[in-house]
Structure 1
Amino acid sequence: MQSIKTFKENLKQDLENRTSNSLFQVKPANDWIDEAKKRPIPKMLFGELWFEGELNILFADTNLGKSILAVQIANSISAGIPTCGLALEAQQQPVIYLDFELSDKQFECRYSDKYDNHFTFNNNFLRAEIQPNSKIPKEYDSFEEFLIKSIEILVIQHSVKILIIDNISYLKNGTEKATEATTLMIFLNDLKKKYHLSILVLAHTPKRDYTKPLSKNDLSGSKSLMNFCDSSFAIGQSFNSSGVRYIKQIKQRVVEELYGIENVITYSIIKNVNFLKFRFEGYDNELNHLKQQTQVDFNTRNDDILKLKSEGKSNVAIGQLFNISEGAVRNILKKYNS
């Protein structure tokens, strides 16, 4: 029969084996703080909107200038020069910009004077795009898996701490689906922690109601994506001032909200000879830039609600798309179906 001493030794060994394979690391809260004290305080990369060590999501509707602003931020960090009226505390350093949107010729057009007198970027600005006719190696089960591993290799090869991805829809098909978005965000968070990265990811908004203020619900795949990011900001369009854009803070963890509905940052988009950019204009209340709703807008919205309902969408899901309550959707359906 096994002795009590042997039993205890076996139990101890069994617990040690299990602990070594555990997903969790447990320490007293004070120990976590003591270790955190040894690391530097995160510095601003783009004012209070994006700090070092954060996974940040920048989202906007199509053609509002997401890529223009992202390149401007990358240029700012790579050259060590603040931009857009916002502080840059971090030191000048390399940036990898993963461009899944523009061809090299389109990129050249934006940063030249009609393909002449080209803007000179700092050599710290590293732009990457997918090689044409790339084949998936046998060890990968899918293109997405190969792509994700290739991003990690880029980070290692170039020893960068700043990564900008333009845009998230290229990394995963169907980021509107919770499972796809969650898997993607877990990968990006793991990459961030493993290599101590600061990551800016561009994303788009689905159809939204321009009479309503921007919110986290306007991000495509909003719940899963927003839950897993550290911070987020969005670009909105002014319907009362032609050509004006505004930036609104959507989520933050290390600072209080500074650029919310009552204090959005306004910009115009200009081309300064050979550099397309956001030019800082000032601050304003977001309500001054929203679209004024007309009876035609109401009718169009209600038609869209009826169509979505016929396609099987729930009242809650429809309400989220239009920033109205489930009860309001129910009343609209009742009115049109009566």
Structure 2
Amino acid sequence: MKNNKIDQIINDIEKNQKLLKDNSLERSCLVVKKANTWVEEAKNRPIPNMLFSELWYEKEVCILFADTNLGKSILAVQIADSISRGIAIPGFKLQSNAKKVLYLDFELSDKQFENRCSEDYENHYEFSSNFLRAEINTEVDIPKEFKGIEDYLCKTLDAIIKRNDTSVLIIDNLTFLSSENEKAKDALVLMKTLKRLSQSENLSILVLAHTPKRDESKPISKNDLAGSKMLMNFCDSSFAIGSSSQESSLRYIKQIKQRNTEHLYHTENVIVCSLDKETNFIEFHFEDFDSETAHLKSFDSISSDQKNEQIKLFISEGLPNVKIADRLGLTEGAIRKRRKKLNI
């Protein structure tokens, strides 16, 4: 009888331990509520405001990407200036009041930054006191428990944000924070960190990223972002800057991913801007809406290697010579000759 009681007690303990373990796992992995409860709780939270038209909303982790020298940093500083003042960029929408912005600048030195917001280092542009800019402190001693300056920064971002009472964080650029961001593991850790910060601190985050060298005769897609699959999975929104074949000062902005709005600025409705420095502040000026095709390089204007790559791509998709010729504006005979030369 005594042994039976002991066995029963042991069984009860084991069951309770299992229940505690199961409940602990459930709490750490999922938050389960009735659908109506989610809706009721969401009603008490404010509707996200636009920070940069429908391209970036409050409390989103957004990625802005483009090839080098197209003006990513210029546009990001312009957006930061707009949000810090609570004044929309002409041609774009801003629904929030002035917010404190922290701009992590890993691209420019202070002198290069000064040059962009002055006239030959004189007549300087006056920023709002809400606009904070940060550079890496090269003299800091990194604690031994951190792998390097990037790891140290990622682990201490929470404290930096709280100390500066920041509502908006802009990181220029992703390559610095994750030198191997094309690898899924590194991208996953970084994006999880930023996503957690966005949720825990009610933070709006814009991350700048480069694209590998791309074919400018093709429309921009999410595949043009380095490490695209993992990064796109963990961001809320994304937009890109493309160069225009019409004029060297023209750029177009294209919406790549969105969650809080419909897809407005797609390939048939990109935002066309000119990049000018009319006074002491280099910036994007809204010009018009247009189709992306009107700003892409024609097949004739791209290099022979790029032409061959396009042909190889169409062949891999199973398109016959006639279809390939039609898409590229060439004759079927020209495609046959190129295929023979390429031995494909």
Assess same fold via TM > 0.5.
yes
TM-score for the superposition, normalised by structure 2? 0.86
Q: Which runs of 5 or more residues in structure 2 are unaligned?
A: 322-337
TM-score for the superposition, normalised by structure 1? 0.88
Partner SS, residue 29 of structure 2: coil
Report deviation, 1:25: 2.1
Do the aligned residues in 2 keep the contact of 1:212 with 1:323 (CA within 8 Å)? Answer: no
Report deviation, 1:280: 0.8
Report deviation, 1:23: 2.5
Larger mean Cα displacement after TM superposition, 277-286 or 176-185: 176-185
1:121 aligns to 2:127 (yes or no): yes
Between structure 1 and structure 2, the one with the greater Rg is 2
* Alignment partners' CA distance in 1, 2:59 and 2:180: 27
Runs of 4 or more consecutive aligned structure 1 residues displaced over 6 Å after TM superposition: 331-334
- Which residue identity lines up with residue 20 of structure 1 in the other structure? S
Do the aligned residues in 2 keep the contact of 1:246 with 1:264 (CA within 8 Å)? Answer: yes
* Alignment partners' CA distance in 1, 2:248 and 2:100: 36
Report deviation, 1:231: 0.5
* Alignment partners' CA distance in 1, 2:89 and 2:302: 40
Do the aligned residues in 1 keep the contact of 2:217 with 2:302 (CA within 8 Å)? Answer: no
Q: CA, structure 1 residues 207+333, in 2 after alignment: closer, same or farther (shift >3 Å)?
A: farther
- Determine which of 167, 173, 184 is the counterpart of 1:178: 184
Report deviation, 1:294: 1.9
Partner SS, residue 45 of structure 1: strand
- Please name the residue that 1:326 is paired with: 316
- Determine which of 187, 195, 199 is the counterpart of 2:201: 195
Report deviation, 1:171: 0.2
- Determine which of 45, 63, 66 is the counterpart of 1:60: 66
- Please name the residue that 1:308 is paired with: none
- Please name the residue that 2:142 is paired with: 136
- Please name the residue that 2:19 is paired with: 15
Q: Which runs of 5 or more residues in structure 1 are unaligned?
A: 306-317
- Which residue identity lines up with residue 144 of structure 1 in the other structure? E
Q: CA, structure 1 residues 30+90, in 2 after alignment: closer, same or farther (shift >3 Å)?
A: same
Residues 1-338 of structure 1 aligned to structure 2 (within 5 Å):
1-2=4-5, 7-8=11-12, 11-12=15-16, 14-21=18-25, 22-294=28-300, 297=303, 299-301=304-306, 326-327=316-317, 336-337=342-343
* Alignment partners' CA distance in 1, 2:34 and 2:154: 35
Structure 1 vs Structure 2 CA RMSD: 2.5
Do the aligned residues in 1 keep the contact of 2:167 with 2:202 (CA within 8 Å)? Answer: yes
Report deviation, 1:242: 3.2
Report deviation, 1:17: 4.4
Do the aligned residues in 2 keep the contact of 1:84 with 1:278 (CA within 8 Å)? Answer: no
Q: How many residues align?
A: 322
- Which residue identity lines up with residue 15 of structure 1 in the other structure? L
